[in-house]
Amino acid sequence: MKCRKCGGTAVINMRQHKLALCADDYLAWLPEQVQRFIEKYEMFTRDDRVLVAVSGGKDSLGLWDILHRLGYQADGLYIGLGIDGGFGYSDQSRELSERFANEHGLKLHVVEVEQTYGATIPELAVISNRGHGKPCSVCGLNKRYIMNRVAHDGGYTVLATGHNLDDEAAVLMQNTLNWAGGYLVRQAPVLPASRPGLARKVKPLCRIYEREMAAYTITRGIEYIYDECPHAVGSTTLYNKELLNQLEEKRPGAKLQFYLSFLQAKEAGLFSAKASEPDLHACDRCGQPTTAPGECSFCRLWDKVRGVKNLPDRVPASLVAPALSA
């Protein structure tokens, strides 16, 4: 297979784009694509301070690399979840994230959930008895909260996550299989900062295939953690990804078409205004926006844990350390 631009040996063939590229041309092409989508969906400009949620995986490190190369002001946030899985998943993830930051001279905020709040995510899942034995639900809740808090405390205007097309299509598939109206209406490349205290959320990789991100980070020589989170095994998301891969195999581009036709249909007004924005107010305790009456889910979760573990009642004034945010 030859590169369509220079005729050299191709490292990737993207059947859905009918495009094969060599290493150099691919490393130039992918950031151009991301730039195109940042502009198309009006995600942010070079004046914005962007916080990139970094997990040590190919998508988030690849995204950080791309944003940095494109000249954006992009700092990282690593959240330590305390997940071991028999191979030190969280430790490895942190190390790889820190190594990338150091090698590129980039600023990385680190929030360790256990040190900050008093328990690891797997402990939290057991104590809270949420998520049917899986920590994924409390993990998501904690990550969303902490990302938003750090963005707020650190004065970032935009929070960028590494969700790729496969992630977005799998979530869309799940929300469609259940016809979860509210989630469908809100799934988008950009979630505006609809309220003070809530960061604008963007997904610059939403149209990039998972394998394209893998090819990018490998070709670019970025070290990332290959393993999925050990708790993701058997998840609905992974199952939906397999289904979508079957469709893609049969008809290249099916995944992209599923996602893009969804965005187009929404743009064309398929959904009624009814199911759109939920009512938000400030949490009585931490002040973060929440749909729950009184305290937000995060505060209620940790109240429970503090009770069980006899932990002191601590709500950090800021999640951004002065030394780091300087």
Binding site for a copy of itself (CB under 8 A): 176-181, 184-185, 239, 243, 246-247, 250, 254, 257-258, 261-262, 264-265, 268-275
- Measured at the CA of 173, the angle between CA 167 and CA 176, to 5 degrees, comes to 140
Residue 74, φ and ψ in degrees, nearest 5: -125, 115
Decide: helix, strand or coil at residue 123: helix
If the CB atoms of residues 157 and 176 are measured against a copy of itself, the closer one turns out to be: 176
Find the shortest distance in angstroms from Cβ 289 to a copy of itself. Answer: 24
CA distances from 200 to 35, 43, 136, 208, 276 (A): 18, 9, 23, 20, 16
If the CB atoms of residues 120 and 240 are measured against a copy of itself, the closer one turns out to be: 240
Find the shortest distance in angstroms from Cβ 224 to a copy of itself. Answer: 30
If the CB atoms of residues 63 and 136 are measured against a copy of itself, the closer one turns out to be: 136
Find the shortest distance in angstroms from Cβ 310 to a copy of itself. Answer: 40
Tokens (6 digits) for 253: 């581009």
Residues with Cβ within 8 Å of residue 9, at least 6 apart in sequence: 1, 2, 3, 22
If the CB atoms of residues 118 and 252 are measured against a copy of itself, the closer one turns out to be: 252
Compute the CA torsion angle 288, 290, 292, 296 (nearest 10 deg).
Answer: -30
- Alpha-carbon 87 to chain mean position: 23
Rounded to whole angstroms, the Cα distance separating 105 from 254 reads 39
Kindly tell me the burial class for residue 86, based on how many C-beta atoms sit within 10 Å of its own C-beta (0-12, 13-18, 19 or more).
exposed
Find the shortest distance in angstroms from Cβ 138 to a copy of itself. Answer: 23
If the CB atoms of residues 6 and 177 are measured against a copy of itself, the closer one turns out to be: 177
DSSP structural state of residue 288 = -
If the CB atoms of residues 144 and 183 are measured against a copy of itself, the closer one turns out to be: 183
Number of neighbouring beta carbons within 10 Å of residue 292: 14
Find the shortest distance in angstroms from Cβ 59 to a copy of itself. Answer: 24
Rounded to whole angstroms, the Cα distance separating 131 from 145 reads 17
Find the shortest distance in angstroms from Cβ 262 to a copy of itself. Answer: 5
If the CB atoms of residues 195 and 251 are measured against a copy of itself, the closer one turns out to be: 251
Find the shortest distance in angstroms from Cβ 229 to a copy of itself. Answer: 21
Tokens (6 digits) for 66: 């791309």
- Give the length of the chain: 326
Find the shortest distance in angstroms from Cβ 184 to a copy of itself. Answer: 7
If the CB atoms of residues 6 and 270 are measured against a copy of itself, the closer one turns out to be: 270
